[in-house]
Amino acid sequence: PDLNLAILEEVDSTNAEVVRQVGRGISGIPVAIAECQTEGRGRRGRTWSSPRGQNLYMSMGLTFHGGFSVLDGLSLVLGVAVANALEGLGASDIGLKWPNDIFLPQGKLGGILVELQGELQEGVVQVIAGIGINVHMSEVEGVNQPWSSLARAYPAVDWSRSEIAGSIINAVLDAAHLFSDVGFRDFREPWQRRDIFQGRPLEAKGGSVRGTGLGIDESGNYLLRTDEGVVPVRAGEISLRMA
C-alpha cells in the first residue's frame, strides 16, 4: 500500500500530525515520524517524554470497517505487531503489559496510544495509532517509573531508528489486515505468551478487585482469578496494578 510518510524535525505530537494529514485529505496511509515531540502524549492524559534524536516517535492512520468496538482488540493487536518487529531485529524477550505497554525485564520500553479519530463514513472508523519506543534514551527527567531502552538492554545490536520504523510499519500493516479479516482470534496466543501479568497478584478497578493474572479472553479482556471466581477487566477505563 502507498504510505504518505512525513519525517519531521519537531512536532507537537505525531498523533496530532496524522490527524492534520487526514484532515487535509491526503492519499495513502498517513505516517508521521519525528525527531522530537514538544507535546508527546501518553495514555490517560499523561505526557510522553520525547527527547530529541534518541527514540522513535511514530504514528499511523488506520481505517477499519466496523464500529468503535474495534478499538478494544486493536490496542493488543498493535502490541503484538511491535513485539514481533522488535524481536525480528534482535530484542529477545519483549513482554506486553495489558493493555498495550511494551516491556523488558528492566522496565518499560515503549507505549502505544490508540486514538479514535471518528467515523469517515457509515461503518468505517479512522484510528490513529501512536507508537513510542525508547531506542537510545540514556537520561531523562520526569519519567516516574522504571524504564529501559533497546540500546541499553541489547548493546550488541546496532539499533537504527529507520530500520525499527520500517519493521514496525510493516508489522502493523500486516497485523491490521489480519485483524480486519479474522478479528482478534489469531492474536490471543501471541499476546498471551508475552503477558508480564501472568500468575502475578494484581488489583483492578481502583483496588476493589484483587486476584491473580490469568491472561486474556478471546476478545482481549484481562482475566483475574479472584476469591469470587474469574473476573474479566475491560480495556479502556481500568488499569491493572501489581498488588
# binding residues, ligand BTN (CB under 6 A)? 20
Query: CA 216 to CA 39: how far, in whole Å?
Result: 32
- To ligand BTN, the closest distance from the beta carbon of 179 in angstroms equals 19
Phi, psi of 211 (to 5 degrees): -175, -165
- To ligand BTN, the closest distance from the beta carbon of 56 in angstroms equals 8
Binding segment (CB under 6 A) for ligand BTN, from list 51-59, 74-82, 173-181, 218-226 = 51-59
Check residue 21 for interaction with ligand BTN (CB under 6 A).
no
Say how far residue 127 (Cα) sits from the centre of its chain: 13
Residues marked as catalytic:
43, 108, 241
Query: CA 130 to CA 16: how far, in whole Å?
Result: 10
Residues 6+ apart with CB under 8 A from 82: 94, 102, 110, 112, 131, 133, 168, 171, 172
Q: Which of 22, 41, 72, 103 binds ligand BTN (CB under 6 A)?
A: 41
Residue 185 assigned ligand-binding role: no
Query: CA 37 to CA 39: how far, in whole Å?
Result: 6
Query: CA 149 to CA 216: how far, in whole Å?
Result: 27
Check residue 197 for interaction with ligand BTN (CB under 6 A).
no
Residue 14 assigned ligand-binding role: yes
Query: From the DSSP assignment, how many helices (H) and strands (E) are in the chain?
Result: 5, 12
Q: Which of 30, 73, 95, 111 binds ligand BTN (CB under 6 A)?
A: 111
Site for ligand BTN in 126-145 (CB under 6 A): 130-132
- To ligand BTN, the closest distance from the beta carbon of 133 in angstroms equals 8
Check residue 75 for interaction with ligand BTN (CB under 6 A).
no
Check residue 103 for interaction with ligand BTN (CB under 6 A).
no
Binding mask 147-186 vs ligand BTN (x if CB under 6 A, - otherwise)? ----------------------------------------
Question: In this complex, which beta carbon is closest to ligand BTN, that of residue 96 or of residue 125?
Answer: 96
Cell numbers linked to 106: 528492566
- Pick from 190, 181, 179: nearest CA to 85: 190
Check residue 49 for interaction with ligand BTN (CB under 6 A).
no
- To ligand BTN, the closest distance from the beta carbon of 123 in angstroms equals 27
Cell numbers linked to 171: 508489522
Say how far residue 150 (Cα) sits from the centre of its chain: 16
Q: Which of 6, 22, 29, 37 binds ligand BTN (CB under 6 A)?
A: 37
State the alpha helices, DSSP H only, in the chain.
Answer: 14-23, 70-88, 150-153, 161-182, 188-192
Which residues define the annotated binding site for biotin? Answer: 13-15, 37, 41-43, 108
Binding residues vs ligand BTN (CB under 6 A): 13-15, 37, 40-43, 46, 48, 57-59, 101, 111-113, 130-132
